Structure 1
Amino acid sequence: MLYLLSILSLFSSNPTPTVSPNKSSLTIEVQNVRAMKGTVYVALFGPGKDFPEGKPVDGKKVDADNAQVRVTFSVEPGEYAIAIYHDENSNGKMDMRLFGIPKEPYGFSNNFRPKLSAPKFSDCQFSVDNGGKTIHIKLN
Protein backbone atom coordinates (compact mmCIF):
# COMPACT_ATOMS: atom_id res chain seq x y z
CA MET A 1 0.00 0.00 0.00
CA LEU A 2 2.92 2.34 0.69
CA TYR A 3 4.09 1.96 -2.91
CA LEU A 4 0.63 2.87 -4.23
CA LEU A 5 0.47 5.98 -2.15
CA SER A 6 3.96 7.02 -3.20
CA ILE A 7 3.01 6.67 -6.86
CA LEU A 8 -0.03 8.87 -6.34
CA SER A 9 2.26 11.72 -5.33
CA LEU A 10 3.75 11.79 -8.84
CA PHE A 11 0.59 13.02 -10.55
CA SER A 12 0.21 16.53 -11.77
CA SER A 13 -3.09 18.34 -12.05
CA ASN A 14 -4.71 18.54 -15.46
CA PRO A 15 -7.59 20.66 -16.67
CA THR A 16 -10.99 18.98 -16.97
CA PRO A 17 -10.77 16.85 -20.10
CA THR A 18 -13.11 17.11 -23.04
CA VAL A 19 -14.79 13.83 -23.76
CA SER A 20 -14.12 12.50 -27.27
CA PRO A 21 -16.84 10.60 -29.16
CA ASN A 22 -15.40 7.20 -28.10
CA LYS A 23 -14.84 8.17 -24.50
CA SER A 24 -17.05 8.73 -21.50
CA SER A 25 -16.83 11.14 -18.62
CA LEU A 26 -15.93 9.63 -15.24
CA THR A 27 -16.39 12.03 -12.34
CA ILE A 28 -15.01 11.21 -8.90
CA GLU A 29 -16.49 13.11 -5.96
CA VAL A 30 -14.24 12.78 -2.93
CA GLN A 31 -16.19 13.29 0.28
CA ASN A 32 -15.19 13.80 3.91
CA VAL A 33 -12.15 15.98 3.26
CA ARG A 34 -11.58 17.03 6.87
CA ALA A 35 -8.59 19.37 6.60
CA MET A 36 -8.95 22.24 4.12
CA LYS A 37 -5.27 22.12 3.26
CA GLY A 38 -2.93 19.95 1.26
CA THR A 39 -3.67 17.95 -1.88
CA VAL A 40 -5.97 15.06 -2.77
CA TYR A 41 -4.41 12.53 -5.16
CA VAL A 42 -6.71 10.35 -7.30
CA ALA A 43 -5.40 7.34 -9.27
CA LEU A 44 -7.44 5.55 -11.96
CA PHE A 45 -6.63 1.89 -12.60
CA GLY A 46 -7.74 -0.47 -15.36
CA PRO A 47 -8.15 -4.23 -14.87
CA GLY A 48 -5.05 -6.26 -14.18
CA LYS A 49 -2.46 -7.09 -11.63
CA ASP A 50 -1.34 -3.47 -11.18
CA PHE A 51 -4.01 -2.39 -8.67
CA PRO A 52 -3.21 -0.83 -6.29
CA GLU A 53 0.58 -1.19 -6.32
CA GLY A 54 1.36 -0.60 -9.99
CA LYS A 55 1.15 2.22 -12.46
CA PRO A 56 -2.32 3.72 -12.89
CA VAL A 57 -3.96 4.46 -16.24
CA ASP A 58 -4.31 8.11 -15.21
CA GLY A 59 -3.95 10.26 -12.13
CA LYS A 60 -4.89 13.73 -10.96
CA LYS A 61 -4.35 15.94 -7.98
CA VAL A 62 -6.58 18.68 -6.65
CA ASP A 63 -6.25 21.20 -3.84
CA ALA A 64 -8.15 20.17 -0.72
CA ASP A 65 -10.03 23.45 -0.32
CA ASN A 66 -13.50 22.09 0.39
CA ALA A 67 -15.13 19.20 2.29
CA GLN A 68 -15.85 17.66 -1.11
CA VAL A 69 -13.54 17.81 -4.13
CA ARG A 70 -14.17 16.61 -7.66
CA VAL A 71 -12.00 15.33 -10.52
CA THR A 72 -13.06 14.21 -13.99
CA PHE A 73 -11.40 11.70 -16.28
CA SER A 74 -12.11 10.98 -19.95
CA VAL A 75 -12.13 7.18 -20.30
CA GLU A 76 -13.02 4.40 -22.68
CA PRO A 77 -16.09 2.48 -21.48
CA GLY A 78 -14.92 -0.44 -19.35
CA GLU A 79 -13.95 -1.62 -15.88
CA TYR A 80 -11.95 0.58 -13.50
CA ALA A 81 -10.92 1.04 -9.86
CA ILE A 82 -9.90 4.19 -7.96
CA ALA A 83 -7.38 4.76 -5.15
CA ILE A 84 -7.19 8.12 -3.33
CA TYR A 85 -5.21 9.73 -0.56
CA HIS A 86 -5.18 13.18 1.04
CA ASP A 87 -1.69 14.57 1.58
CA GLU A 88 -2.76 16.89 4.39
CA ASN A 89 0.71 18.25 5.16
CA SER A 90 1.80 18.63 1.50
CA ASN A 91 4.99 16.65 1.96
CA GLY A 92 4.40 14.66 -1.25
CA LYS A 93 3.92 11.28 0.42
CA MET A 94 1.45 9.27 2.44
CA ASP A 95 2.50 9.44 6.08
CA MET A 96 2.35 6.10 7.88
CA ARG A 97 2.03 4.87 11.44
CA LEU A 98 3.56 1.80 12.94
CA PHE A 99 3.15 -1.36 10.82
CA GLY A 100 2.42 0.71 7.68
CA ILE A 101 -0.99 1.93 8.77
CA PRO A 102 -1.84 5.18 6.93
CA LYS A 103 -1.79 8.31 9.06
CA GLU A 104 -3.46 10.45 6.39
CA PRO A 105 -6.96 9.90 4.95
CA TYR A 106 -7.36 7.51 2.01
CA GLY A 107 -10.15 5.77 0.12
CA PHE A 108 -10.98 3.32 -2.64
CA SER A 109 -13.84 3.00 -5.10
CA ASN A 110 -16.90 1.16 -3.77
CA ASN A 111 -15.81 2.72 -0.45
CA PHE A 112 -13.93 -0.51 0.17
CA ARG A 113 -12.15 -0.55 3.54
CA PRO A 114 -9.15 -2.90 3.62
CA LYS A 115 -8.65 -4.90 6.80
CA LEU A 116 -5.13 -6.32 6.84
CA SER A 117 -3.84 -5.89 3.30
CA ALA A 118 -4.29 -3.81 0.17
CA PRO A 119 -7.53 -4.41 -1.73
CA LYS A 120 -7.84 -6.42 -4.93
CA PHE A 121 -9.07 -4.86 -8.15
CA SER A 122 -12.29 -6.89 -7.85
CA ASP A 123 -12.98 -5.31 -4.42
CA CYS A 124 -13.01 -1.80 -5.90
CA GLN A 125 -14.12 -2.48 -9.48
CA PHE A 126 -16.90 -0.51 -11.20
CA SER A 127 -18.13 -0.11 -14.80
CA VAL A 128 -18.26 2.97 -16.97
CA ASP A 129 -20.59 2.85 -19.98
CA ASN A 130 -21.11 5.22 -22.90
CA GLY A 131 -23.29 7.50 -20.77
CA GLY A 132 -20.52 8.29 -18.30
CA LYS A 133 -20.55 7.85 -14.55
CA THR A 134 -20.16 9.70 -11.28
CA ILE A 135 -18.92 7.87 -8.20
CA HIS A 136 -18.59 9.06 -4.61
CA ILE A 137 -15.69 8.00 -2.41
CA LYS A 138 -15.57 8.83 1.26
CA LEU A 139 -12.14 9.31 2.81
CA ASN A 140 -11.58 7.50 6.10
Structure 2
Amino acid sequence: MARRLLPALALAIGCTASAAVLAQAPGRTLTINVGNVRVAKGNIHVDICPQEKFLKDDCPWSGDAPARLGTTQVIVRDVPPGLYAAQAFHDENSNTKVDRALFGIPKEGVGFSNDARISFGPPSWKNAVFGYHVPQATITFKLRYFLGPSGPPAAK
Protein backbone atom coordinates (compact mmCIF):
# COMPACT_ATOMS: atom_id res chain seq x y z
CA MET A 1 0.00 0.00 0.00
CA ALA A 2 2.76 2.47 0.96
CA ARG A 3 4.63 1.72 -2.27
CA ARG A 4 1.59 2.66 -4.38
CA LEU A 5 0.99 5.81 -2.34
CA LEU A 6 4.54 7.15 -2.74
CA PRO A 7 4.46 7.49 -6.57
CA ALA A 8 1.04 9.15 -6.39
CA LEU A 9 2.27 11.51 -3.68
CA ALA A 10 5.41 12.32 -5.67
CA LEU A 11 3.28 13.03 -8.76
CA ALA A 12 0.97 15.32 -6.76
CA ILE A 13 3.94 17.21 -5.29
CA GLY A 14 5.51 17.51 -8.74
CA CYS A 15 2.28 18.86 -10.26
CA THR A 16 1.92 21.36 -7.43
CA ALA A 17 5.53 22.49 -7.86
CA SER A 18 5.01 22.84 -11.64
CA ALA A 19 1.89 24.93 -11.07
CA ALA A 20 3.77 27.15 -8.64
CA VAL A 21 6.58 27.73 -11.16
CA LEU A 22 4.05 28.51 -13.90
CA ALA A 23 2.18 30.93 -11.62
CA GLN A 24 5.41 32.86 -11.04
CA ALA A 25 6.01 32.87 -14.82
CA PRO A 26 9.72 33.75 -14.79
CA GLY A 27 11.11 34.61 -18.19
CA ARG A 28 7.74 35.55 -19.72
CA THR A 29 7.73 38.90 -21.50
CA LEU A 30 4.74 40.95 -22.63
CA THR A 31 5.67 43.86 -24.88
CA ILE A 32 3.17 46.68 -25.21
CA ASN A 33 3.55 49.17 -28.07
CA VAL A 34 1.64 52.29 -27.01
CA GLY A 35 0.99 54.58 -29.98
CA ASN A 36 -0.21 58.16 -30.45
CA VAL A 37 2.11 59.53 -27.73
CA ARG A 38 1.88 63.30 -28.27
CA VAL A 39 5.09 64.49 -26.55
CA ALA A 40 8.39 62.96 -25.43
CA LYS A 41 7.83 64.10 -21.86
CA GLY A 42 7.14 62.06 -18.71
CA ASN A 43 6.44 58.33 -18.74
CA ILE A 44 4.05 55.83 -20.27
CA HIS A 45 2.61 53.56 -17.57
CA VAL A 46 0.88 50.26 -18.41
CA ASP A 47 -1.03 47.96 -16.04
CA ILE A 48 -1.86 44.35 -16.93
CA CYS A 49 -5.05 43.40 -15.10
CA PRO A 50 -7.13 40.29 -14.52
CA GLN A 51 -10.86 40.95 -14.70
CA GLU A 52 -11.36 41.59 -10.98
CA LYS A 53 -8.65 44.31 -11.00
CA PHE A 54 -9.53 45.98 -14.32
CA LEU A 55 -10.03 49.77 -14.02
CA LYS A 56 -8.51 49.79 -10.55
CA ASP A 57 -5.17 51.09 -9.29
CA ASP A 58 -3.81 47.80 -7.97
CA CYS A 59 -3.26 45.58 -11.00
CA PRO A 60 -0.61 42.96 -10.20
CA TRP A 61 1.69 43.58 -13.20
CA SER A 62 2.86 46.90 -14.59
CA GLY A 63 5.64 48.61 -16.46
CA ASP A 64 6.88 52.09 -17.28
CA ALA A 65 9.02 53.62 -20.00
CA PRO A 66 10.10 57.16 -20.83
CA ALA A 67 7.59 58.68 -23.26
CA ARG A 68 8.74 58.75 -26.87
CA LEU A 69 6.96 60.79 -29.52
CA GLY A 70 4.73 58.53 -31.60
CA THR A 71 5.15 55.03 -30.13
CA THR A 72 6.60 54.00 -26.78
CA GLN A 73 7.44 50.39 -26.00
CA VAL A 74 6.74 49.18 -22.45
CA ILE A 75 7.89 45.76 -21.23
CA VAL A 76 6.02 43.86 -18.50
CA ARG A 77 7.73 40.72 -17.22
CA ASP A 78 6.65 37.54 -15.46
CA VAL A 79 2.93 37.71 -16.27
CA PRO A 80 1.45 34.19 -16.01
CA PRO A 81 -0.74 32.84 -18.84
CA GLY A 82 -4.33 34.00 -18.70
CA LEU A 83 -6.91 36.55 -19.79
CA TYR A 84 -6.05 40.18 -19.14
CA ALA A 85 -6.81 43.76 -20.12
CA ALA A 86 -4.14 46.42 -20.42
CA GLN A 87 -4.74 49.96 -19.25
CA ALA A 88 -2.23 52.72 -19.93
CA PHE A 89 -1.73 56.40 -19.38
CA HIS A 90 0.77 59.08 -20.36
CA ASP A 91 2.07 60.51 -17.12
CA GLU A 92 3.28 63.76 -18.70
CA ASN A 93 4.16 65.44 -15.38
CA SER A 94 5.58 62.27 -13.73
CA ASN A 95 3.28 62.39 -10.69
CA THR A 96 2.31 58.67 -11.05
CA LYS A 97 -1.42 59.32 -11.54
CA VAL A 98 -3.87 60.33 -14.25
CA ASP A 99 -4.58 64.02 -13.82
CA ARG A 100 -8.23 64.92 -14.35
CA ALA A 101 -10.17 68.02 -15.33
CA LEU A 102 -13.76 68.98 -14.61
CA PHE A 103 -16.16 66.00 -14.55
CA GLY A 104 -13.21 63.58 -14.29
CA ILE A 105 -12.08 63.97 -17.90
CA PRO A 106 -8.44 62.81 -18.17
CA LYS A 107 -5.97 65.63 -18.87
CA GLU A 108 -3.37 63.08 -19.97
CA GLY A 109 -3.62 60.38 -22.60
CA VAL A 110 -5.26 57.07 -21.69
CA GLY A 111 -5.65 53.83 -23.63
CA PHE A 112 -6.74 50.21 -23.37
CA SER A 113 -5.87 46.92 -25.03
CA ASN A 114 -7.68 46.21 -28.31
CA ASP A 115 -8.05 49.99 -28.65
CA ALA A 116 -11.23 49.46 -26.63
CA ARG A 117 -13.57 52.38 -27.14
CA ILE A 118 -13.88 55.11 -24.55
CA SER A 119 -17.29 56.78 -24.69
CA PHE A 120 -18.97 58.40 -21.70
CA GLY A 121 -16.65 56.37 -19.46
CA PRO A 122 -14.06 53.62 -19.58
CA PRO A 123 -14.45 50.54 -21.79
CA SER A 124 -15.89 47.23 -20.66
CA TRP A 125 -13.76 44.20 -19.82
CA LYS A 126 -15.12 42.29 -22.82
CA ASN A 127 -13.88 45.00 -25.21
CA ALA A 128 -10.39 45.17 -23.71
CA VAL A 129 -9.65 41.51 -22.85
CA PHE A 130 -6.87 39.59 -24.60
CA GLY A 131 -5.36 36.15 -24.10
CA TYR A 132 -1.72 35.81 -23.10
CA HIS A 133 -0.55 32.21 -23.50
CA VAL A 134 2.96 32.22 -25.00
CA PRO A 135 6.29 33.11 -23.33
CA GLN A 136 6.78 36.26 -25.44
CA ALA A 137 3.94 38.31 -26.92
CA THR A 138 3.33 41.82 -28.20
CA ILE A 139 0.15 43.88 -28.14
CA THR A 140 -0.40 47.32 -29.64
CA PHE A 141 -2.90 50.08 -28.93
CA LYS A 142 -3.14 53.88 -28.99
CA LEU A 143 -3.59 56.55 -26.37
CA ARG A 144 -6.50 58.97 -26.59
CA TYR A 145 -6.22 62.56 -25.43
CA PHE A 146 -9.37 64.49 -24.55
CA LEU A 147 -7.75 67.88 -23.83
CA GLY A 148 -5.02 69.64 -25.80
CA PRO A 149 -3.43 68.11 -28.90
CA SER A 150 -4.97 64.73 -29.74
CA GLY A 151 -1.67 63.14 -30.72
CA PRO A 152 1.83 63.85 -32.03
CA PRO A 153 2.29 66.74 -34.47
CA ALA A 154 1.63 65.87 -38.10
CA ALA A 155 4.73 65.23 -40.21
CA LYS A 156 5.53 68.08 -42.61
TM-score clears 0.5: yes
Alignment map for 1:12-27 (pairs within 5 Å): 20=26, 24-27=28-31
Deviations 1:85-108 (A, max 9, x none): 001122333221211111111100
Higher helix content, 1 or 2: 2
Q: TM-score, normalised by structure 2?
A: 0.68
**Superposed CA offset, 1:41-64 (max 9, x none):** 11110132x211251011122111
2:46 to 25, 38, 42: 42
Structure 2: 5+ residue runs without aligned partners? 1-24, 145-156
Q: Which has the larger radius of gyration?
A: 2
Moved segments of 4+, more than 4 Å: none
**Aligned amino acid, residue 71 of structure 2:** Q
TM-score using structure 1 length: 0.75
Instruction: Give the fraction of aligned pairs with identical amino acids, expressed as a percent.
Output: 37
Query: What is the number of equivalent residue pairs in this alignment?
Result: 119
1:124 aligns with 2:128: yes
CA RMSD of aligned residues (A): 1.8
Change in CA separation of 1:54 and 1:92 when aligned onto 2, cut-off 3 Å: closer
Check conservation: 1:52, 1:120, Cα contact below 8 A: no
**1:85 aligned partner:** 89
Quote the residue 1:9 is aligned against: none
What letter matches 1:68 in structure 2? Answer: T
Structure 1: state its 5+ residue gaps.
Answer: 1-18
Alignment of 1:61-76 (within 5 A): 61-73=64-76, 74-76=78-80
Output the CA distance in 2 between the equivalents of 1:93 and 1:72.
19
Alignment of 1:115 onto 2:119: yes
Q: How far 1:125 moved relative to its partner?
A: 0.2
Residues 72-81 or 28-37, more deviating = 72-81
Choose between structure 1 and 2 for higher RCO, CA contacts under 8 A separated by at least 6 residues: 1
Q: Determine whether 1:60 maps to 2:60.
A: no
